[in-house]
Amino acid sequence: MIMAKVFCCSAPKANSSLLAFLLLAIFQSPSISAQAVAEEPVSKEPEPNENREAARPGLVLPATDAEAQALLAKVAEAVTNLEYRGLATFEHVGVMETLEVVHGVRNGEQVERIRYLTGAPRELVSSGHDAQCRRDGSPLSRAGLWSSSGLENVRSLYHFFIRGQERIADREAVVLEARPRDPHRYGMVISVDRETGLPLKSMLVAPAGRVLERFQFVELDLAPINDADLQPLSNEARKSDGSGQCGAHVSRWRLGWAPNGFKAVAARELADGEMLVFSDGLSAFTVFVQKLGPDMNYQGRATRGATVAYMDHLEVNNVRYTITVVGEIPDSTAQLVAKSVAAKN
């Protein structure tokens, strides 16, 4: 993956757990400016139009609460329970990569194998039902956060529009746009398969209408997945097990500020700290709080497409901690969140 690396470090030694996360999730290729992302403007908000049957490519109509809720619930059901395999493209920071995606369900839990077919050989096999703590996998993984409870308040956070229909991977799709009502989150455009609800294409969109990331199927097979198809093809494949009880941990940390609508949905104890996940029902960010060695002083940020990692630090009772906020949120929002982290009591 290509990304901009602009971390500032005052000491050569590193917090091994933190840097392992950052190296695997953020820094895997040479640096490039995130400003190189190609632009695809999103149309301006249309005037209200009661003729719902008139929706067609190029015409944008406000979605009713029922329409938006039904489409998003259908997407959440599909990405969780549907078995499929396909070829997809992933565009970010001006680079397009090709992936093989295999998604199966075993004993009620998701198992996903992602293999990059371009660039450096990479393969990831992830398993586990706890989607709230799974921060890797394909861009479809973010849809695992969507649930009936998580979607209750999204109407107050986003404007929803039906942008017509389109054909993706030889399948008919309805195009749904979620446009944020404030500057603290990104917009999203999802092409939802009419038959299954699977997102055939998804785009994360900056406030100015610039597309930050685009994930799109070019081939899709909905036949049942065999066990052998979920096994890694490479001895160097990375494995991720998300079967633990992520939400069972009670955190000692709190946020003094978070964007409206973002709520704590999960927490997990780490060897040297904690991981906290916050979601507004559509978007999510993760806060890592980890002990920092006495000779370390990290502060800065890294970006890869729509994903930002902002690092800061604080001291509590003479113990130093590093704070890292990772998510598909604007850089300024990540900084405000990181600086608001404090110990409870």
pLDDT tens per residue, range 59-74: 688 888 788 888 888 8
- pLDDT at residue 270, rounded to an integer: 87
Would you kindly state where each structural domain of the chain is located, as residue ranges?
A: 4-32+245-343, 38-241
Q: Using CA atoms, how far apart are residues 240 and 126, in angstroms rounded to an integer?
A: 4
Asked if 71 contacts 175 with a C-beta cutoff of 8 angstroms, the reply is: no
Q: What pLDDT shows up at residue 151?
A: 60
In contact, 262 and 333? CB cutoff 8 Å: no
- Nearest Cα residue to 314 out of 278, 342, 284: 342
Confidence of residue 90 (pLDDT cuts 50, 70, 90): very high
Tell me the pLDDT band of 38, cut-offs 50, 70 and 90.
Answer: very low
Dihedral angle computed from the Cα positions of residues 210, 261, 112 and 119, in that order, rounded to the nearest 10 degrees: 30
pLDDT tens per residue, range 92-111: 878 899 999 999 999 888 89
Instruction: Please determine whether the domains at 4-32+245-343 and 38-241 fall in the same fold group of CATH.
Output: no
> Residue 322 pairs with which residues in a beta bridge?
290, 313
Cβ atoms 270, 16 nearer than 8 A? no
The model's confidence at residue 282, banded by pLDDT at 50, 70 and 90, is confident
Per-residue model confidence (pLDDT) at position 196? 96
Name the strand (E) or helix (H) holding 80. helix 65-81
Confidence of residue 299 (pLDDT cuts 50, 70, 90): confident
pLDDT tier at 143, thresholds 50, 70, 90? low
pLDDT at 214 over 70: yes
CB-count burial class (<10 Å; 0-12, 13-18, 19+) for 286: buried
| Residue 79 φ then ψ, to 5° | -70, -20
Percent of the chain past pLDDT 90, that is, above it, reads 44
Instruction: Indicate the class that CATH gives domain 38-241.
Output: mainly beta
pLDDT for 133 beyond 90: no
For the whole model, what pTM was predicted?
Answer: 0.77
Give the confidence band of 296 by pLDDT, cuts at 50, 70, 90. low
For residues 3-31, average pLDDT:
34
pLDDT band at 165, cuts 50/70/90?
very high
What mean pLDDT, rounded, does the chain reach? 77
Q: What are phi and psi of 305, to 5 degrees?
A: 65, -125
> Which among 312, 247, 259, 253 is positioned nearest to 284, based on CA atoms?
259
Sign of CA dihedral 72, 77, 80, 82: negative
Cα–Cα dist 275/253, whole Å: 10
pLDDT of residue 292: 77
Q: Which residue has the tokens 């956060």?
A: 145
> Under CATH, what is the fold of the domain 4-32+245-343?
Phosphorylase Kinase; domain 1 (3.30.200)
Per-residue pLDDT at 341 exceeds 70: yes
Highest mean pLDDT among 2-16, 206-220, 296-310: 206-220
What residue type is assigned to position 178 of the chain?
A
pLDDT at res. 150: 54
pLDDT at 10: 32
